[in-house]
C-alpha cells in the first residue's frame, strides 16, 4: 500500500513570518511610537483581537467593503458571532464605553499597536494579517486636536528617517450638511451610470460617497468632475476646516486639498486625511498593481461613540500600516543601527568551562555589559570565529584550567593580545577597557 504523501505546511495565504533579520525594523517602530506617543500625552491601550461582529457592523458601517467583503467572522460553540478585528478604532471606543471612561478627565488619548485581519487579494503592501499602530483622541472637538494627530504622524515618520512625505486632506462635513452633498453626488452620477464600473453602479445605491474612492480607470473621467464636499459644508464645518488648514500653515506642514478623499469607513465626519510617500513621479505605487498606496490616514469621528451606545462624544484618530512603512524604509535604503550589538563574547571549553561561563554571563548581564555566546560550540576556534564575525571588542575565554584557577582570559579581538585576570576582577577590568574606546 503506497504511503500517503505528507503535505508541506506553509503560512496561510496573505500572512507571513517576521524573521529575526527583520525584527530590527519592528523594534525601531515600536520604540518611536511609544516614545513619541507618550511625549504627546497618549497612553497605551490593548483591545482583544476578536470582538463581537456587531461592533464592526455598527461601527465601521454595514455598506463598507470591510464589512461586506473582508471580515473574518465565525460562530463560537456557544453560538456567538465573533470577528477578527479588521481595524482598531471600534475596539478602542467599545473599551472606552464599557470601562466607564466617560467619567475621566477629557480629552483622553490612547495609542495601540497590533495585528488586524482582512480578507482581500494578497499583494505587495496588502496582507490578510497585517499590523497597524494607531492614535485616538476622545472627548475634544477643537480643530487643534485634528492637527496634532497629523503633526504626530509626520513626527513619527521623520524620526524613522522617512522623507518625501505629503498630506492629503479634505472635509466630509457633518450629519447636518452631508445629506445635501450626498444628494448632489447621486444626481451627478445617476445621469452617468452607464459610464461606471459594476462596483460603482452598486455603490451609487448603497454608499455614494465611496464612488469618489474608486480606482477603476473607467470611472476616472466621471469622478474628475464630480461635486466637491467643500462646496456643501455648513458654516460650522467650514470654520472648523478653515482653522485646521490655518494650523497646518502655521506649523509649515505641506498639504494637498484632495476633494475626492473620503476614506473607506462610514464613521468619519469633518476632517479626513491620508499620509502618502512620494516618488519622483508622484505618490508611491504598489509595484504589482500600480495602485497608489498610502502609509495611513484618519480623521474625525464625532458620532461613533454615540453610535456604539455611549453619550455623544467628539473624537478623532488615525492608523498607519507598519508593513508599508517598513517597505518604504527599505526602498529608501535607510540603515537602522541596532542598539543591542554586544561588545563582549564568552568563549568556553569543556563542561566545567561551560558552567563557569554561564555564571559569568549572569554577572555581566547584571553589570549591564551586553554579551554574546555560543555555549553549545565545543571548539575555541569556532567560537572565536563567531566573535570576530559579530564584531565584538573583547572575548572572555574560560577553559578547564581557567575554571580551576578562578581566572579568565581577556582577548582583544583587534590586536589579538590576551591577558589573564582574576575571576573576581573581570567585570571591573572589562568596564575600564570598554570606557577607553
The CATH number covering residue 295 comes to 3.30.930.10
DSSP string over 53-77: HHHHHHHH-TTSHIIIII-EEEE-T
Cα separation, 410 vs 69, in Å, equals: 63
Structural domain ending residue among the three candidates 295, 310, 331: 331
* pLDDT at res. 339: 64
Residues 327 and 348 in one domain: no
The enclosing domain of 366 has a CATH number of 3.40.50.800
Q: Which has the higher per-residue pLDDT, 64 or 397?
A: 397
Quick check: 289 pLDDT over 70? no
Average pLDDT, the chain: 90
125 falls in which pLDDT band (50, 70, 90)?
low
Q: Find the domain containing 133 and state its range.
A: 20-177+233-331
Residues 165 and 272 in one domain: yes
* pLDDT at res. 207: 85
* pLDDT at res. 123: 73
Q: Are strands 315-321 and 296-300 parallel, antiparallel or unpaired?
A: antiparallel
Asked if residue 1 is part of any domain, the answer here is: no
Annotation: binding site for L-histidine: 87-89, 118, 132, 136, 263, 267-268
Residue 42 neighbours by CB distance under 10 Å: 21
> Please, what sign has the CA dihedral across residues 422, 426, 428, 430?
positive
* pLDDT at res. 3: 67
292 falls in which pLDDT band (50, 70, 90)?
low
Asked if residue 270 is part of any domain, the answer here is: yes
Region 37-43: what's the mean pLDDT? 96
Partner residues linked to 75 by β-bridges:
81
* pLDDT at res. 286: 47
Q: Are strands 165-171 and 255-257 parallel, antiparallel or unpaired?
A: parallel
Mind listing the pLDDT tens digit for each residue in 186-211? Answer: 999 998 888 899 889 888 888 888 88
Quick check: 159 pLDDT over 80? yes
Residues 242 and 389 in one domain: no
Residues 386 and 246 in one domain: no
Asked if residue 12 is part of any domain, the answer here is: no
Mind listing the pLDDT tens digit for each residue in 221-242? Answer: 999 999 999 999 999 999 999 9
Quick check: 288 pLDDT over 70? no
CB-CB contact of 200 with 214 (8 Å):
yes
Structural domain ending residue among the three candidates 302, 331, 360: 331
Asked if residue 107 is part of any domain, the answer here is: yes
Residues 310 and 350 in one domain: no
Partner residues linked to 121 by β-bridges:
none
Q: Residue 152, Cα to own-chain centre: how many angstroms? A: 14
pLDDT over 90, % of the chain: 63
CB-CB contact of 351 with 332 (8 Å):
no
Asked if residue 227 is part of any domain, the answer here is: no
- Tell me the three cell numbers of residue 26: 519592528
Residues 288 and 415 in one domain: no
Q: Which has the higher per-residue pLDDT, 368 or 287?
A: 368
Residue 306 neighbours by CB distance under 10 Å: 12
Residues 267 and 151 in one domain: yes
Cα separation, 422 vs 383, in Å, equals: 22
Asked if residue 159 is part of any domain, the answer here is: yes
Q: For residue 254, give the 3-state DSSP assignment.
A: coil
Asked if residue 264 is part of any domain, the answer here is: yes
Cα separation, 130 vs 36, in Å, equals: 22
* pLDDT at res. 52: 96
Asked if residue 187 is part of any domain, the answer here is: no
Nearest to 93 by CA among 263, 269, 274, 317: 317
pTM of the model: 0.87
Mind listing the pLDDT tens digit for each residue in 325-346? Answer: 999 999 888 877 766 688 899 9
Residues 431 and 285 in one domain: no
58 falls in which pLDDT band (50, 70, 90)?
very high
Question: Which residues lie closer than 8 Å to 341 by C-beta, 6 or more apart?
Answer: 370, 390, 391
- For 11, 274, 347, 382, the CA distances from 379, given in Å and listed in that order, are 37, 56, 9, 5
Residues 303 and 375 in one domain: no
Domain count, the chain: 2
pLDDT over 70, % of the chain: 95
Structural domain ending residue among the three candidates 331, 354, 370: 331
Residues 280 and 250 in one domain: yes
CB-CB contact of 170 with 259 (8 Å):
yes
Residues 406 and 285 in one domain: no
291 falls in which pLDDT band (50, 70, 90)?
low
Highest mean pLDDT among 4-18, 91-105, 251-265, 375-389: 91-105
- Phi and psi at residue 403, in whole multiples of 5°? -65, -40
- Max CA-CA distance within the chain? 93
Residue 101 neighbours by CB distance under 10 Å: 18
Which pairs with CB-CB distance under 8 Å and at least 24 residues apart come from 330-338?
A: 330/25, 331/284, 332/161, 332/162, 332/163, 334/161, 334/162, 336/24, 336/25, 336/28, 336/161, 338/24
281 falls in which pLDDT band (50, 70, 90)?
very low
Residues 279 and 356 in one domain: no
Annotation: binding site: 87-89, 118, 132, 136, 263, 267-268
Q: What angle is formed at CA 72 by the lines to CA 71 and CA 73, rounded to 5 degrees?
A: 100
Stretch among 22-31, 207-216, 298-307 having the lowest mean pLDDT: 207-216
Mind listing the pLDDT tens digit for each residue in 342-400? Answer: 889 999 988 888 888 889 999 998 998 999 888 888 888 899 999 888 889 999 999 88
Question: Which residues lie closer than 8 Å to 268 by C-beta, 6 or more apart?
Answer: 172, 262, 299, 300, 301
Region 90-94: what's the mean pLDDT? 97
Quick check: 170 pLDDT over 90? yes
Amino acid at each position: 500500500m503506497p504511503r500517503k504523501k505528507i503535505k508541506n505546511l506553509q503560512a496561510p495565504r496573505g500572512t507571513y513570518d517576521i524573521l529575526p533579520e527583520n525584527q530590527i525594523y519592528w523594534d525601531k517602530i515600536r520604540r518611536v511610537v511609544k516614545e513619541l506617543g507618550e511625549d504627546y500625552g497618549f497612553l497605551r491601550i490593548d483591545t482583544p483581537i476578536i470582538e463581537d461582529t456587531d461592533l464592526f457592523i455598527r461601527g465601521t458601517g454595514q455598506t463598507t467593503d470591510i464589512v461586506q467583503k473582508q471580515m473574518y467572522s465565525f460562530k463560537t460553540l456557544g453560538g456567538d458571532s465573533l470577528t477578527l478585528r479588521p481595524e482598531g478604532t471600534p475596539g478602542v471606543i467599545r473599551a472606552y464605553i464599557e470601562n466607564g471612561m466617560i467619567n475621566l478627565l477629557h480629552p483622553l488619548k490612547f495609542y495601540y499597536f497590533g495585528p488586524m485581519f482582512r480578507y482581500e487579494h494578497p499583494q505587495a503592501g496588502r496582507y490578510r494579517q497585517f499590523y497597524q499602530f494607531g492614535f485616538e483622541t476622545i472627548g475634544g472637538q477643537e480643530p487643534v486636536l485634528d492637527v496634532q494627530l497629523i503633526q504626530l504622524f509626520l513626527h513619527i515618520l521623520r524620526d524613522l528617517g522617512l522623507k518625501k512625505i505629503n498630506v492629503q486632506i479634505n472635509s466630509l462635513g457633518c450629519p447636518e450638511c452631508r445629506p445635501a452633498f450626498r444628494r448632489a453626488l447621486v444626481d451627478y452620477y445617476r445621469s452617468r451610470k452607464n459610464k461606471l464600473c459594476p462596483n460603482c453602479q452598486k455603490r451609487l445605491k448603497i454608499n455614494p460617497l465611496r464612488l469618489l474612492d474608486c480606482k477603476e480607470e473607467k470611472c476616472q473621467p466621471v469622478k474628475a468632475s464630480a461635486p466637491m464636499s467643500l462646496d456643501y459644508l455648513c458654516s460650522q464645518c467650514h470654520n472648523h476646516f478653515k482653522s485646521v488648514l490655518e494650523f497646518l500653515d502655521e506649523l509649515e506642514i505641506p498639504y494637498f486639498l484632495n476633494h475626492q478623499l473620503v476614506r473607506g469607513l462610514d464613521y468619519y465626519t469633518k476632517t479626513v486625511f491620508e499620509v502618502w510617500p512620494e516618488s519622483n513621479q508622484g505618490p508611491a505605487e504598489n509595484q504589482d498593481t500600480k495602485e497608489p498606496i498610502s502609509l495611513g490616514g484618519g480623521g474625525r469621528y464625532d458620532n461613533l461613540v454615540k453610535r456604539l451606545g455611549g453619550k455623544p462624544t467628539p473624537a478623532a484618530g488615525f492608523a498607519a500600516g507598519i508593513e508599508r512603512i517598513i517597505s518604504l524604509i527599505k526602498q529608501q535604503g535607510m540603515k537602522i543601527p541596532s542598539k543591542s550589538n554586544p561588545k563582549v563574547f564568552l568563549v568556553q571549553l569543556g563542561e566545567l568551562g561551560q558552567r563557569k561561563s554561564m555564571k559569568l554571563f549572569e554577572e555581566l548581564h547584571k553589570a549591564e555589559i551586553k554579551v554574546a555566546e555560543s555555549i553549545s560550540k565545543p571548539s575555541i576556534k569556532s567560537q572565536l570565529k563567531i566573535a570576530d564575525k559579530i564584531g565584538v571588542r573583547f572575548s572572555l575565554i574560560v577553559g578547564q584550567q581557567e575554571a580551576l584557577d578562578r581566572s579568565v582570559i581577556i582577548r582583544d579581538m583587534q590586536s589579538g593580545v590576551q591577558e589573564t585576570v582574576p575571576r573576581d576582577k573581570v567585570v571591573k577590568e572589562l568596564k575600564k577597557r570598554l570606557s577607553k574606546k
